[in-house]
Structure 1
Amino acid sequence: MQSSPHGLTRFNTLPAIEAERALLSCCGSLHWARRLVAHRPYPDLGALLAAADEAVYDFAPADLDEALSRETLPLPPHGSYSVAHTALGAAHSAYESRFGHAFVICLDGYGPDEALDQLLAGIRSRLGNDPEEERVLSWDELRRLARGRLARLVRSLEARTEPQEAIDPQEPADSGRPDSSSDSPYVAV
C-alpha cells in the first residue's frame, strides 16, 4: 500500500467538498467522510488509514446503517457462469431479507478466479449468524473495505494531472462498490 507523498498532498489540499465526495466513494458514512476531511492534513498514508479506522471504530449505529445502505451488489467477475450469478443473487436476497442491508466482505488476497467462490461461501456461512454477530462482522468488513478503497484513492491521486479531474477510486472495472482494481479484490455485495 505504498503511496508517494504527491497523492497524499493532493488529497490534503483538495477543497473540502471534493475530498468529502471522494471519501464517500470509499465509505458511505457522511460522518466518517467529514471527520477525515476535518482532520487534514495527514503526514503520511499510515496516519490517514489509522484515522479512517478510528472513525469507523467510533461509528454510531446510524453511521453503520448509513454506510451499509450505500453498499450494492457488484457485478460478478467476467467469465463466471450464469449459474453462479443466479446463486449469488439468491444468496444476497436471502441475506438482505434476514439482516436488512447489503452483504459486505473483503476478499483481499484472493484472485479474480477465486473471488466468486469465496464470496458465495462467505455469504452462505454468514447467513446463519444472529443479527448482532453479523452486524459486528459487517462493521469490520466495511472498515477493511474502506481502508483498501482509501489507499487506492490516494494512489489514484498520484496520477492526476488536472486539478479538476474527477476522483473515482472505482477505476477500472468494479467488482464491489467503490473500487476493486486488479491489485486488491475488495468486494461489497
Structure 2
Amino acid sequence: MTGVEAFNSLPVRELQDRLIACCAAPEWGAALVAGRPYPDRVALSAAADAAAQSLSWAEVLKGLSAHPRIGERAAGDSREAQWSRREQAAAAPGDESTRAALVEANRAYEDRFGHVFLIFASGRSPEQILAAARQRLGNDETTERAIVADELRKIAGLRLERLLDELG
C-alpha cells in the first residue's frame, strides 16, 4: 500500500492526530481529511499547500504554538518533537558566539512580533538562519505575517511527506 493509499484509508480521528504533528493548526488537517481520497502525492501536496494558504492569522498562530524557538530542542517523544529536532539539527549553533547571537535574535524577534521566529530550517546553516532572523526584524507586520505563514506551509509540507513515507 502506498503512503497516499494508507492516508486515504486511515480513520478520521487517527489521521487528524497524525496531521497535528505536521501542522498544529487543526483547520489545516481538517481540510486535508475532508478532501480525501487523493489520487497521488501531487494532489495531496497541492491540497496541503492550498489549505495552508487559506489559514487565517489566528490559525497560523495555532500552528506556531507547537514550534520551539529556533536553536532550541523540542522536548518529548512525540512525532512532532522528533521531526522538529531533525529539522533543526543542522541549525544548532556549534560555537558560543553564534548561539548567543541566535538567542538575542529570537528575543528581539519575539519582542517585535509577539511570537516565535519561524523558519524552514532544513538545509540551512546556523549563520543563514541568524542572517534571516536579523533581516526579518526589519519587516513590517503585514510582510512578516506573510513570510511566517509561508514558512509554516513549507514545514507542514515537509512533515506531510515524512508522514506519507512512514505510512507507505
| TM-score, scaled relative to structure 1 | 0.73
Over aligned residue pairs, what C-alpha RMSD do you find? 1.8
CA contact (8 A) 1:12 1:40 kept: yes
Shift of 1:50: 0.5
Corresponding residue for residue 18 of structure 1: 14
Structure 2: runs of 5 or more not aligned? 74-87
Corresponding residue for residue 50 of structure 1: 46
Shift of 1:86: 2.0
Q: Deviations over 1:142-188 (max 9, x none)?
A: 11111111111111222xxxxxxxxxxxxxxxxxxxxxxxxxxxxxx
CA contact (8 A) 1:29 1:66 kept: yes
More helix, by proportion: 2
Counterparts of 2:93 and 2:112 in 1: how far apart (Å)? 29
Counterparts of 2:9 and 2:43 in 1: how far apart (Å)? 16
Shift of 1:79: 7.1
Shift of 1:84: 2.1
Report the number of matched residues: 150
Corresponding residue for residue 146 of structure 1: 156
Is 1:67 matched with 2:63?
yes
Corresponding residue for residue 118 of structure 1: 128
CA contact (8 A) 1:27 1:33 kept: yes
**Aligned sequence identity (%):** 41
1:79 and 1:31, CA in 2 relative to 1: closer, same or farther beyond 3 A?
A: closer
Structure 1: runs of 5 or more not aligned? 159-189
Shift of 1:59: 1.1
Q: Deviations over 1:97-131 (max 9, x none)?
A: 111111111245x3xxx521111111111011111
Q: Deviations over 1:48-73 (max 9, x none)?
A: 11001111111122211211222212
| TM-score, scaled relative to structure 2 | 0.81
Corresponding residue for residue 103 of structure 1: 117
- Amino acid corresponding to residue 146 of structure 1 in structure 2: A
Q: Match of 1:106, SS?
A: coil
